[in-house]
Amino acid sequence: MTNRRIAKLFALALFAVAAYATTVVTAVAAAAQSASTAKPLTGLAGAIAKARADSARLPYVKADIEFMSSMMHHHAQAIVMAKWAPTHGANPELQRLCERIINAQTDEIALMSRWLEARNQPVPTPNPAGMTMQMSGMEHTMLMPGMLTEAQMQELDAARGATFDRLFLTGMIQHHRGAVSMVKELFAAYGAGQDETIFKFANDVEVDQTTEINRMFQMLLTVGAP
């Protein structure tokens, strides 16, 4: 093979290498441009993607799950009690308080449900009688702290007027104190309460219900003794 032919073949080889390199660079640049100009997810798809990403980053432990699940039942009983106010002759001030309890705790049940669902945890059906548990092959209902017993609920439902007001206030003070104790128990558990949503929600429960406890004590003074 002559030197001239060798030089020609060498030149063709260089051309082929250069062409391949150009193709690779072009493909990489196109991919980079596509990635940079890709539209971000919006609407429901974007919200779901963000929720999943957030839930994967935020820490939560068993105590957080138990708190949210238990508080759903706790709130359910408070809502039942508050809904009796208009039909049981409660005074106007108490009816206004009950409206606030219904609205606030209905929204909070929805928040707790979403939180559990986003973390692929079972979402319980809120039960005003408490949490149903299986023990020794039988169903048992467990009351959360502060929840009224079946007998207390029956007594409240049978009351009217000032008697209802008094029983409601004493019962809801007991109920709210139980919720506050659940918050304290949550924060006492190792690693619990670090999730941003739970931290804010639990603090709101403690502050709001402590405020309502103080308000209900003042309202009791106007109801009088039985």
CB neighbourhood size of 147 (10 A)? 24
Q: Which of 139-143, 202-206, 214-218 has the lowest mean pLDDT?
A: 139-143
Domains located in the chain, CATH noted: 59-223 (1.20.1260.10)
Answer yes or no: are the C-beta atoms of 177 and 146 closer than 8 Å.
yes
- Whole-number pLDDT of residue 10: 45
- Whole-number pLDDT of residue 30: 52
Amino acid found at 121: Q
User: pLDDT tens across 137-160, in order?
Assistant: 555 578 999 999 999 999 999 999
Buried b / exposed e along 186-206 (16+ C-beta atoms within 10 A):
bbeeeebbebebbbebbeebb
**pLDDT tier, 6 (very low <50, low <70, confident <90, very high otherwise):** very low
- Whole-number pLDDT of residue 220: 95
Tokens of 153: 């609920």
| Burial category of 177 from C-beta neighbours within 10 Å (exposed 0-12, middle 13-18, buried 19 and up) | middle
User: pLDDT tens across 81-98, in order?
Assistant: 999 999 999 999 999 999
Report the share of the chain in percent with pLDDT over 70.
69
Averaged pLDDT for residues 54-79: 88
Cα distances from 216 to residues 173, 174, 219, 222, in angstroms, run 7, 11, 5, 10
Query: Any idea what DSSP says for residue 131?
Result: E
Answer yes or no: are the C-beta atoms of 162 and 222 closer than 8 Å.
no
The alpha carbon of residue 71 and the mean position of all alpha carbons in its chain are separated, in whole angstroms, by: 10
